[in-house]
Amino acid sequence: MRRKSKIAQQRARNHTLMGMGFIVTIACVVAGVIWWLGQRPQPLDPVTLCPGSGPLGHQVLLVDRTDPFNPAQKAAFDNLTKDLVENLPVGYMFSVFVLGDDFKAETKPLIELCNPGTGDDKSDLTQNTKALRKQYMSGFIEPLEKVTTELLTANAAKESPIIEMLQLVFLNSIQAHKTQGPITLYVLSDLMQFSSALDMYKSTPDFEKYQATYVAKKLWVDLNSVDVRVVLLNNNIKNQSPSFLQFWNAYFKRANAKSLDISNLPG
């Protein structure tokens, strides 16, 4: 009886060890499945290629084409847009607006796409890297290159309603997406406002006087979460005086821009 008891105890131990081994195996399988699922990409918006939860950041380019570009400006513009697009972080949205000869028809972005990633940092074990690269080129790079190339041949305009367009860019793109990450607005323009709201060709207005007008209150915009980067076109050097720059510095300060940088486009 004692011997049978030892055999029974041994069998019980073996059953316990087998049970524990089975549990460990199941746990490893489950952990592997969870890891594999975690490596799979989250589905992207089929239209914008943005993450399902929304853009991780937003860069907006407003191009003022109310005056034609000279050859040097065209080359500099091409370099600028390529740099912005190629260095856009994965998951960030890039929006393009134009201010041209038909202001009322240009209130919406020409294009809005997120960088879906090249797939270069992914593994062939978990993802189709060739398909990711194709998506990056045909769904992101090529459409943006087409739009920016077409901007170089846009027609000149009789008016230059820059302040009005800044408000529409904010309403129709920046505010519309409510991005939680960084937002940067690039304004490529000579900033020579010319519309019924304000005419800078006559003289540079005093900002405090302008701010007190009905038009200023109507066109006011809140850029409190936006970094503004103005790339100044040197089309009207005579009018782009220190007081002119003071006006725009005061304008963006009043608009609560998170930061402001003004540089010049070559040409």
- Per-residue pLDDT tens over the stretch 177-202: 989 899 999 999 999 999 988 999 88
Identify whether the C-beta of residue 264 lies closer than 8 Å to the C-beta of residue 229.
no
| Residue 139 tokens, joined | 């769904």
**What pTM, to 2 d.p., does this model score?**
0.81
Model confidence band, residue 38 (pLDDT cutoffs 50, 70, 90): very low
Q: Which burial class, exposed, middle or buried, applies to 258 when counting CB atoms under 10 A from its CB (0-12, 13-18, 19+)? A: middle
One-letter amino acid at 175 equals Q
State whether CATH 3.30.410 applies to domain 57-264: no
Q: Give Cβ neighbours of residue 258 (< 8 Å, ≥ 6 apart).
A: 223, 224, 225, 226, 227, 228
Residue 260 or 126, more confident: 260
pLDDT for residue 37 = 41
Could you give the count of Cα atoms lying within 13 Å of 177 in the half-sphere of its Cβ?
30
The percent of residues above 70 in pLDDT, for the chain, comes to 81
Bridge partners for 95 per DSSP = 60, 112
- Per-residue pLDDT tens over the stretch 113-159: 999 988 665 545 445 678 888 999 999 999 999 999 888 877 777 88
Q: Give Cβ neighbours of residue 40 (< 8 Å, ≥ 6 apart).
A: 126, 127
pLDDT for residue 25 = 61
pLDDT for residue 211 = 94
The percent of residues above 90 in pLDDT, for the chain, comes to 60
Residue 21 or 102, more confident: 102
pLDDT for residue 102 = 78
For the chain, domain boundaries:
1-39, 57-264
State whether residue 70 is helix, strand or coil: coil
Q: Sheet containing 92-99: which strands, arranged edge to edge?
A: 111-114, 92-99, 57-64, 183-189, 226-232, 259-264
Q: What is the chain's percent helix, strand, coil content, to nearest 5?
A: 45, 15, 40
